[in-house]
A and B are shown apart, each in its own frame.
Chain A
Amino acid sequence: MNWCLYLALKQLFPTGKRFSFFSIMSIIGVALGVMVLFVVQSVMNGFQHEIRQTIIATQGEARVNANNGVLYNADSLGNFLKNQSEVAALARYAYGIGMLEYNNRSIFPIIKGIDFENEIKIVELQKFIKKGNLQNFDNRSIILSSELASQIGATVGSSVEIYSPMMLKALQTNEIILPRTLKVVATYETGYRQADENVAMVMLDTVQDLYGLEEGVHGISLKLKPDVRPEKFAFELNKNLTYPIHAASWQEINKDLLFVLKTEKTMMFFILVFILLVAAFSITSSMTISVIRKTREIGLINALGGTIRQCEACFMIQGLIIGIAGSVIGIAVGALILKFRNDIISVFVKLCGIEDFMLKFYSFANMPATYQLGDIFTLVTFAVVICCLAGVLPARKIAKIKPADALRNE
């Protein structure tokens, strides 16, 4: 073993002592920083993954629409899309804002009309149903999100009335169109706030009738075959579509949300990285004191045939070892925390008495977490580089030491 590495290891883990206080404190400092970063990043990844999966599960992987206008040739476009080898299933949809009334309580949700038979091939509706069932769903019924249902006090079996903007138009010509009465057959919850807060689902022909669309739809949702990349598929498909018809992947449709999620993760990394920086500063401070304390020793090593550069390397290696050991321990402890995250959270919320609060706002029955090798690599590299840099300052102090002066040092 190279003597610089040998001495660095010995200075961190001296013979005859179980541990060196400086080494243990430095390694724990780095390990804590790495652990916190690893856990937070994994949880952020988990949430991102869940949100992405929910978006795909509720919207499909891609959509074709007419620049937010009405598609009147949906059948021929549908046939064209069916012939694309990448498409596994497709379903037409239309939507509009309407007024929903029950027991004199009104709300203004988006009424989404779905081509039920095809929609269930794209969206696992059954998975999101909380009450009621889909078997009774027809053009005289409606599915409400649990949030909407609770806002107007409706339950499964209630009859709600829908007023569309068409009715206001009819009033201008002294015509009166009566509201449509629909029976609530089910309530759903996707976990995707945008869908849960403001969307009610009815049959496609109900929306077409309510909004005077005739055979028109607002778009076609697509499910793609496995291993097809939605962004690439949409890009290639757009080459064969003419304006205003446009294909968009789920990433493009939700780009603002995805950007926010990515920014959140990056910001979290930069905020938490300060833990590592604090650890690095404490390592630098301890090592600098160590250099001053070991000035005579450095002179001795020089007299025995070591060079000042090798003494510098010895301190840099100490930083490297602290960085590697801290990272390994941090990742290991972090992985352990993530493995038992749900048990830890349940104990924590019970101790704090915030169980109901957590379940209501965060749905923390199962906290999602996903490791990404790329994140681990970045994190470990960052920690090791910071620790090496922490050793540079003390090493530079050594460079200024003259061996003869070091030996005279008291």
Chain B
Amino acid sequence: MNDYIVELKNIQKKFENVFVLKDVNFGIRDRETVSICGTSGAGKTTLINIMGLLEFPTHGNIFWEDQNVIICNAKRLSQMRAKIFGYIFQRCNLIPELNVIENILFPKRITSKISMPDLELAKELLQRVRLGGFENRNVWTLSGGESQRVAVVRAMINRPRIVIADEPTGSLDEKSAHITMDMIINLCREYDSSLLLITHNQLFAKKMQTSYILNNSELKPFDYAKSEQ
């Protein structure tokens, strides 16, 4: 027995006979912050897609609190995705037809009805990411940094167990990237969410409790402190 919330066991993934992931064993604990680094095309996004139940491995199993989710049907997987995970992508992926508050509340709308406390929480989160008063702004009027902060709030609205952030600062300038990253880390800490961060930025990776590096289709633990010595 281990204390992982989600655990990947012996994961292999092939695209047209090319191994992207080979025998990956990996898990994330409650409130743990984890970073995965690797070169472009190493398979980082594939790995988090498998962990986020968006993609199935060619071989191996995914456990959610000791339950094998590989055997679950599409509807059950969708329910689990909505309840367990909050996603932040490199491109913020806001829905252009909805305004800021509607975008933030959209994950809530998928899982249940919107209630007054949800609205309050959304407003409070917006305040936290310094976007108070932006509720009714159209998303196409926001800057890149502002859009990404809206995406961060959207990821937190369902109080997810795990926040999966796939290069969330990749398209931001350095200053905005630091602000956004600090906000993600602080919100995860405050809402007791685990954080799985995919990044090329070693500074951000060092801020995580656990770090991995994905190289040659294999995932290995990486200790930044040791490597600096």
B210 at the interface (CB under 8 A from A): no
Q: Identify which of residues 74-114 in chain B touch chain A, using a CB-to-CB cut-off of 8 Å.
A: 74-75, 78-79, 81-83, 85, 87, 89, 91, 93, 95-99, 102, 106-107, 109-111
Once the chains are docked, how many angstroms separate the CA of A402 from the CA of B91? 18
* B43 within 8 Å of A (CB atoms): no
Q: Which residue in chain A gives the minimum CB-CB distance to B95? A: A297
The answer to whether A303 touches B81 (Cβ under 8 A) is yes
Query: Across the interface, which residues of B come within 8 angstroms of A303, CB to CB?
Result: 52, 54, 81, 85, 87
> Which partner residue on chain B sits nearest A303 by CB separation?
B87
- CB neighbours of B99 from chain A (8 A): 15-16
A169 at the interface (CB under 8 A from B): no
Interface stretch of the complex, out of A61-69, A86-94, A95-103, A305-313: A305-313
Contact (A3, B78) CB under 8 Å given A10-B97, A15-B99, A407-B89 = no
Report the separation of the CA atoms of residues A403 and B91 in the bound assembly, to the nearest whole angstrom: 16
Which of A7, A10, A306, A403 is within 8 Å of B55, CB to CB?
Answer: A403
B176 at the interface (CB under 8 A from A): no
Is the beta-carbon distance between A15 and B93 smaller than 8 angstroms? no
With CB as the reference atom, state the residue of chain A lying closest to B166: A407
Interchain CA distance A299-B81 in the complex, whole Å: 12
Q: Contact: A3 with B55, CB < 8 Å? A: no
Q: Is A157 an interface residue (CB 8 A)?
A: no
Asked if A304 is an interface residue, CB under 8 A from chain B, the answer is: yes
B54 touches A14 (CB 8 A): no
- A403: chain B residues at CB < 8 Å are 54-55
A286 within 8 A of B: no
Contacts of B215 in A (CB 8 A): none
In the complex, which of the residues A14, A308, A408 contacts B97, with contact meaning CB atoms closer than 8 Å? A14
A195 at the interface (CB under 8 A from B): no
Q: Does chain A have a CB within 8 A of B45? A: yes
Q: Which residues of B contact A408 (CB under 8 A)?
A: 45
B97 touching A302 by the CB < 8 A rule? no
Question: Is residue B138 within 8 Å, beta carbon to beta carbon, of the partner chain?
Answer: yes
Chain A residues positioned under 8 Å from B45 (CB to CB) = 408
B159 smallest CB distance to A (angstroms): 14
Task: Find out whether the CB atom of B75 lies under 8 angstroms from the CB atom of A307.
Answer: yes
Instruction: Say whether A305 contacts B102, CB under 8 Å.
Output: no
Closest to A301 in B: B110
Known: A15-B98, A15-B102. A304 touches B54 (CB 8 A): no
Docked-complex contact A304 and B87, CB < 8 angstroms: yes
> When A303-B87, A305-B82, A307-B74 are in contact, do A11 and B109 touch as well, CB less than 8 Å?
no
Is B49's CB within 8 Å of the partner chain A?
yes
Identify the interface centre among A296, A299, A308, A407: most chain B CB within 10 Å of its CB.
A407
Within 8 A of A (CB), among B50-72: 52, 54-55
Q: How far is the CA of A301 from the CA of B97 in the complex (A)?
A: 14
> Would you call the interface of chain A mostly helix, strand, loop, or mixed?
helix
Q: Kindly list chain B residues whose C-beta atoms are within 8 Å of the C-beta of A10.
A: 95, 97-98, 102
Q: State whether A304 touches B110 (Cβ < 8 A).
A: yes
Bound Cα distance from A362 to B163, whole angstroms: 75
Q: How distant is the Cα of A402 from the Cα of B46 in the complex, in angstroms?
A: 13
Is residue A168 contacting chain B, with contact meaning CB distance below 8 A? no
User: What is the minimal beta-carbon distance from A313 to any residue of chain B, in angstroms?
Assistant: 13
A306's contact among B49, B91, B97, B110, by CB below 8 Å, is which?
A: B110
CB B14 to nearest CB in A, in angstroms, measures 14
- Which residues of chain A (267-309) have a CB below 8 Å from chain B? 296-297, 299-309
A404: interface (CB < 8 Å): yes
> Please, which residue of chain A has its CB at the minimum distance from the CB of B97?
A14
B78 touches A305 (CB 8 A): yes
Are A304 and B81 closer than 8 Å at their CB atoms?
yes
CB–CB B109/A6 < 8 A:
yes
Contacts of A3 in B (CB 8 A): 106, 109-110
* B-side contacts of A11, CB under 8 Å: 97
CB distance from A23 to the nearest CB of B (A): 11
Q: Mark A1-30, 1 if CB is under 8 A from B, else 0.
A: 001001100110011100010000000000
Q: Which A residues lie at the B interface, using CB under 8 A? A: 3, 6-7, 10-11, 14-16, 20, 296-297, 299-309, 402-404, 407-408
24 contacts across the A-B interface (CB closer than 8 A): A3-B109, A3-B110, A7-B106, A10-B95, A14-B97, A15-B97, A296-B93, A297-B93, A300-B87, A302-B54, A302-B81, A304-B81, A304-B106, A304-B107, A304-B110, A305-B81, A305-B83, A305-B111, A307-B75, A307-B78, A308-B74, A309-B74, A403-B55, A404-B55
Q: Considering the complex of A and B, which 4 residue pairs feature the smallest CB-CB distances, nearest first?
A: A305-B82, A14-B97, A16-B138, A404-B55
